[in-house]
Amino acid sequence: MNKLLAATKLILTLKCEQSTRIVSESLDRELSGVERWAVRLHYISCWSCRRFGKQLRMVRDALRTKVASEDADATKLSPEALKRIESAIQSES
Amino acid sequence: MYAKGFFSENARKPPMVEATKRAKGQREKHLPEPMSEKNNPPTKEDVTEWLTEHGDLLYRYAMKRIGKSDVAEDLVQDTFVAALRSADGFEGRSKVQTWLVGILRHKIADHLRKVSRQRQRDAKTREDASHAEVFQHGHWRVGVKPWTSDPAKSLENEEFWTVLSGCQEKLPDKLSMAFRMRDIEDLPMAEICELLEITATNLSVRLHRARVLLRECLDQNWFSAQRHR
C-alpha cells in the first residue's frame, strides 16, 4: 500500500527540479513505469521541462557523435614522454 | 518517449569506429612477435620493449579516467616502476597486460583520492550556489527557451565545440569529473562510483547538477545568440 501511495504522490506532485533529476537519470538507467508516467504528466503542463529533456538528449548525442568521430588510436604517448618515462624507470631501483 | 533501447548502453557504434578497428587489426600483423607471447614480468633490461608494447594502452586507459595527459604520463611511469619492483610477485596466472592495468587502476584510484582530499582542503566549492541559481523551491527561476538552431549545423561549427568546452571547464571540479567520465568517456556508472568513491545516488546528483549547469551555460553562450539572429 505504501508503494502505491508513494507512486501516486510522485506522479501528482512532481516539481521541475525533481523532474529534471529523473530525466537526467534516464540517461544512465531505465526508468520505472511510475517515473515515466510522472514525467509525462509533468510535461503536459511544463514546457520548460519538456525542452530541458530534449536539450539534454541533444547534448548527449552531440558528445557521442564527436567522441565516436575522434580517432582513439591517436591517443598515445609522445616520443618525449616515452623517453622521459624510460629514463625515470632506469634510474629507479 | 523513453523507449527501451533509446538510452541503451549498447547502441550500435557508427561505421567509422568499426572501420578504425579493422584497420588496427591489420596493422598489428606486421609488428614483430608480440611480447605477450612470453608472459614474463618486465625487467630493467627490456623496459623499452615493454613501453613500446604496453605504454600506449596504459596511457589511453589512464587518459580515459583522468583526462589530463601530464598526470596520465606520470601514472604510466609509476605503474612501470611499481611493476619492476614487484616483478617477483607476478605469478603468471594472468596476462602481463592485465596485471599492469591492475597496478595502473590502483594508481588512478590513489591519485583521484589525493585530488579529492586536496580539493576539500582548498576553497569551499560553489557548486551548491550555482545550482540554486537555476531552481527555486523546486521550480525554474527562468523558463527554458527552445533551441531553435538546427543541431546538425551547430555540431559542424568549430566555435560550438569551443563554447561547449569552455562550459565544461566552468563546472566545479566534482561535477566536471563526473560529467567527463560519464558523458564524454562513457564509463559505466559502477566504475565511476568506484573511482570517485561515491555512492550511486551521489553520482546521479552530481551528473544532474553538471548537466543542468552545462545546459544553462550552453543556452546563455550559444543558443541565445542563435535565437536573436
Residue in the block written with cell 589525493? B114
Q: Do A85 and B55 touch (CB under 8 A)?
A: yes
Contacts of residue B114, defined as CB under 8 A and 6 or more positions apart, other chains included, come to: none
Grid cell locating B171: 563546472
Nearest to B108 by CA among B196, B172, B42, B207: B196
Task: Provide the chain A residues 66-85 that lie in CB contact (below 8 A) with chain B.
Answer: 66-69, 71-73, 75-77, 81-82, 84-85
Q: Would you say residue A3 has pLDDT above 50?
A: yes
What is residue B129's predicted lDDT score, i.e. its pLDDT?
64
Cβ neighbours of A38 in B, within 8 Å: none
Q: Report angle CA B181, B183, B187 to the nearest 5 degrees.
A: 45
User: Which of A18, A51, A65 is the closest to B138 by Cβ?
Assistant: A18
Mean pLDDT, to the nearest integer, of A40-57? 95
Grid cell locating A60: 548527449
Grid cell locating B222: 550559444
HSE toward the beta carbon, residue A83, CA cutoff 13 A: 3
Nearest residue of chain B to residue A68 (CA atoms): B17
Residue pair B145/B224 in contact (Cβ under 8 Å)? The answer is yes
Grid cell locating B2: 523513453
Mean pLDDT, to the nearest integer, of A22-50? 95
Three-state SS at B136: strand
Q: Do A29 and B189 touch (CB under 8 A)?
A: yes
Alpha-carbon gap, residue B29 to B196, rounded angstroms: 38
Q: Would you say residue A89 has pLDDT above 70?
A: yes
**Residue A8 vs residues A1, A18, A38, B91: alpha-carbon distances, Å:** 11, 15, 9, 58
What is residue B128's predicted lDDT score, i.e. its pLDDT?
60
pLDDT > 90: percent of chain A = 54
Alpha-carbon gap, residue B46 to A86, rounded angstroms: 10
Alpha-carbon gap, residue B133 to B136, rounded angstroms: 7
Residue pair B16/A69 in contact (Cβ under 8 Å)? The answer is yes
The residue count of chain B comes to 229
More confidently predicted of B206 and A66: B206
Maximum separation of any 2 CA atoms in chain A, in Å: 69
What is residue B40's predicted lDDT score, i.e. its pLDDT?
73
**Residue B96 vs residues A50, B38, B87: alpha-carbon distances, Å:** 50, 9, 10
Q: Report angle CA B21, B188, B105 to the nearest 5 degrees.
A: 85
Q: What is the pLDDT along chain B (229 residues), one digit of tens a residue?
A: 444 444 444 444 454 554 555 544 444 444 444 444 557 777 777 788 888 889 999 999 999 999 999 999 999 999 999 998 887 777 777 788 999 999 999 999 999 999 988 887 776 555 566 777 899 999 999 999 999 877 778 888 889 999 999 999 999 999 999 999 999 999 999 999 999 999 999 999 999 999 999 999 999 999 988 777 6
Grid cell locating A29: 538507467
φ, ψ for residue B193, nearest 5 deg: -60, -40
Q: What is the pTM of this model?
A: 0.81
Cβ neighbours of B24 in A, within 8 Å: 73
Task: Provide the chain A residues 10-69 that lie in CB contact (below 8 A) with chain B.
Answer: 15-18, 20-21, 24-31, 36, 40, 47-49, 51-52, 54-56, 58-69
Residue in the block written with cell 504528466? A41
Alpha-carbon gap, residue B113 to B119, rounded angstroms: 10
More confidently predicted of B38 and A21: A21
Residue pair B115/B74 in contact (Cβ under 8 Å)? The answer is no
Q: Do A85 and B146 touch (CB under 8 A)?
A: no
SS (HEC) of chain A: CHHHHHHHHHHHHCCHHHHHHHHHHHCCCCCCHHHHHHHHHHHHHCHHHHHHHHHHHHHHHHHHHHHHHCCHHHCCCCHHHHHHHHHHHHHCC
What is residue B226's predicted lDDT score, i.e. its pLDDT?
78
